């Protein structure tokens, strides 16, 4: 583990807990966790930051997935098929991630966030389908294939290469392609996200770019945040998820914009 102060460690653990909560509610916890790691570990290579981020995130995402599976209407078979494609995509993305520099990450994340915010704001009815709609209604084969190839493969590759916002993109894409409500899409996304995290983490571990001791400490807080967030999303519904999504997006855009300005 790198030589970091106790204050920095505490702040990173708090960021991990908050990221776990955000990731469970709407996805995109990495949009908080990765910038926190970049700020807290300024002298650590970007590949090690990305690998450590994955080691932390997979624990919280797995906990949230288990919580959702107990109560949310999820098509587990479809989620696993999308997830397996996402796993392959994330391994491919992680293979190329070693050449990414920290300076590239901030502007990329900002552009991605602004795109997410614009989409949600321009589609006020997005993700408000009945909660059991996606789980009960037969789906066209073309939609299933699109979800497996484009959502699984495409977003999986992005997750391995960059990572931040993957959960949010999965929620948005699954809701749009499969016509799921936001709570069901969020539950399905957790299963897929576990697979993308596993694929990317396997590649980062193979390359030796994971700070395991730091990740283990932060993962405990990420898990707690993820399980609490999943329960709140299930109890409060799609309106709550949408509100959290927009709040998180605009807060992070402001923070990253400030950091980029100073840089």
Q: Which of 43, 28, 59 is nearest to 163 (CA)?
A: 28
Taking residue 193's Cβ as centre, other Cβ atoms within 10 Å add up to 34
H runs (alpha helix) in 124-165? 133-136, 141-146, 155-161
pLDDT digits (tens, 9 = 90+) for 59-68: 988 988 888 8
Question: Judging by beta carbons within 10 Å of its beta carbon (0-12, 13-18, 19+), is residue 77 exposed, middle or buried?
Answer: exposed
CA distances from residue 68 to 219, 235, 237, 259 in whole angstroms, order as listed: 19, 11, 12, 35
Q: Give the mean model confidence (pLDDT) for residues 70-78.
A: 79
Q: Which of 154, 152, 177, 158 is nearest to 105 (CA)?
A: 158
Indicate whether 248 pLDDT > 60: yes
Give the residue extent of every domain in the chain: 6-262
H runs (alpha helix) in the chain? 6-25, 30-40, 46-71, 76-96, 102-122, 133-136, 141-146, 155-161, 166-178, 182-207, 212-262
Q: Give the mean model confidence (pLDDT) for residues 90-96.
A: 85
Indicate whether 104 pLDDT > 50: yes
pTM: 0.73
In degrees rounded to 5, what are phi and psi of residue 56?
Answer: -75, -50
Could you tell me the pLDDT band of residue 22, with boundaries at 50, 70 and 90?
confident
Query: Strand, helix or coil at 16?
Result: helix
Please give the pLDDT value at position 132. Answer: 43
Read off the DSSP letter of residue 133: H
Q: Give the mean model confidence (pLDDT) for residues 5-24.
A: 90
Q: Give the mean model confidence (pLDDT) for residues 148-165.
A: 82
Please give the pLDDT value at position 97. Answer: 73
């Amino acid at each position: 583990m790198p030589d970091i102060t106790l204050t920095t460690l505490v702040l990173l653990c708090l960021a991990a807990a908050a990221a776990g909560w955000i990731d469970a509610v709407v996805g995109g916890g990495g949009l908080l966790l990765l910038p926190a790691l970049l700020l807290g570990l300024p002298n650590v290579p970007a590949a090690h930051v990305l690998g450590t981020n994955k080691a932390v995130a997979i624990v919280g995402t797995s906990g949230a997935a288990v919580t959702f599976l107990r109560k949310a209407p999820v098509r587990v078979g479809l989620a696993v098929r999308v997830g397996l494609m996402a796993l392959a995509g994330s391994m491919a993305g992680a293979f190329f991630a070693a050449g990414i520099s920290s300076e590239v990450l901030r502007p990329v994340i900002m552009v991605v966030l602004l795109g997410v915010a614009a989409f949600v704001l321009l589609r006020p009815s997005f993700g408000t389908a009945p909660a059991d709609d996606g789980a009960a209604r037969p789906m066209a084969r073309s939609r299933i294939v699109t979800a497996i190839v484009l959502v699984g493969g495409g977003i999986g590759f992005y997750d391995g290469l960059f990572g931040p916002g993957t959960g949010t993109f999965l929620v948005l894409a699954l809701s749009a392609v499969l016509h799921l409500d936001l709570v069901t899409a969020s539950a399905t996304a957790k299963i897929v996200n576990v697979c993308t995290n596993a694929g990317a983490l396997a590649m980062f571990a193979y390359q030796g770019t994971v700070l395991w001791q730091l990740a283990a400490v932060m993962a405990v807080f990420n898990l707690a945040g993820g399980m609490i967030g999943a329960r709140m999303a299930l109890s409060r519904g799609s309106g709550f998820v949408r509100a959290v999504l927009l709040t998180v997006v605009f807060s992070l855009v402001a923070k990253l914009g400030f950091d980029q300005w100073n840089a």
